[in-house]
Amino acid sequence: MVQDMGLDKLIRDHPFFEGMDDEALELIAGCAANERFDAGQYVFREGQPADKFYMVRHGSVALEVRAPGRDSIVLQTCDDGDVMGWSWIVPPFRWKWDARATRLSRLVSFDAICLRGKLDADPALGYAMYKRFVRVIAERLAHARLQMIDLYGIGKE
């Protein structure tokens, strides 16, 4: 119970959930749990069912793509405070990448099956959550575009 109360506060204080009313926060917190991953441990693997999303409390998780015969390619890292994973709201609800803790990481996970049911049943809550995820997705897209353009590449004299 103490742990649940801690989770409730963590969720309430996180910028992602800013502006959400108490009732909505309570519903969301009901689907949340604390998880711990050691360095090198996978949080999820490509192709597995996306049955959760995560909030990084402390640590660092690399989203990466495996390629045969070469080192994995890290697309980005999710660090303290980041919200990680939106495959749980996009059919067919499967992870597109691997997520590997690069050091000891403590995450809050949100059960997608539990949440999807609540969001379907309460369109206002669903809209509030989707609005927040659109912001995360837009930010990631902007960052991915900046990473693509070889910002620090050869300039001119």
Partner 1 sequence: MNQMAALVDPMVPAPFRIERVKKELSDTFTLDLVPAERKRSISFLPGQFNMLYVFGVGEIPISISGDPGVGDKIVHTTRAVGNVTNAMWKMGVGQTIGVRGPFGTAWPVEEAEGSDVVIVTGGIGLAPLRPAIYQILANRQAYGNVCIMYGARTPEDILFRKELEKWRGQFDMQVDVTVDHATGRWGGKVGVVTKLIGRGGFDPHHTVAFVCGPEVMMRYAVDTLVERGVSEKDIHVSLERNMKCGIGFCGHCQLGGDFVCKDGPVFPFDAVADRFVIQEL
Using CB under 8 A as the criterion, which residues of the chain lie in contact with partner 1 when the complex forms?
60, 62, 64, 70-77, 79-81, 100, 102-103, 143, 146-147, 149-157
State the Cα–Cα distance between residues 147 and 46, nearest whole angstrom: 22
Residues 96, 101, 103, CA angle at the centre, nearest 5°?
160
Give the single-character DSSP code of 125: H
Cis peptide preceding 123, ω within 30 of 0: no
- Which CB, 92 or 156, lies closer to partner 1? 156
Shortest spacing between CB 92 and partner 1, in angstroms: 26
- Which CB, 97 or 119, lies closer to partner 1? 97
Q: How crowded is residue 140: how many other Cβ atoms within 10 Å of its Cβ?
A: 17
CB 34 within 8 A of CB 64: no
- Which CB, 2 or 151, lies closer to partner 1? 151
Shortest spacing between CB 58 and partner 1, in angstroms: 12
State the Cα–Cα distance between residues 26 and 126, nearest whole angstrom: 14
Shortest spacing between CB 60 and partner 1, in angstroms: 7
Shortest spacing between CB 70 and partner 1, in angstroms: 8
- Which CB, 101 or 115, lies closer to partner 1? 101
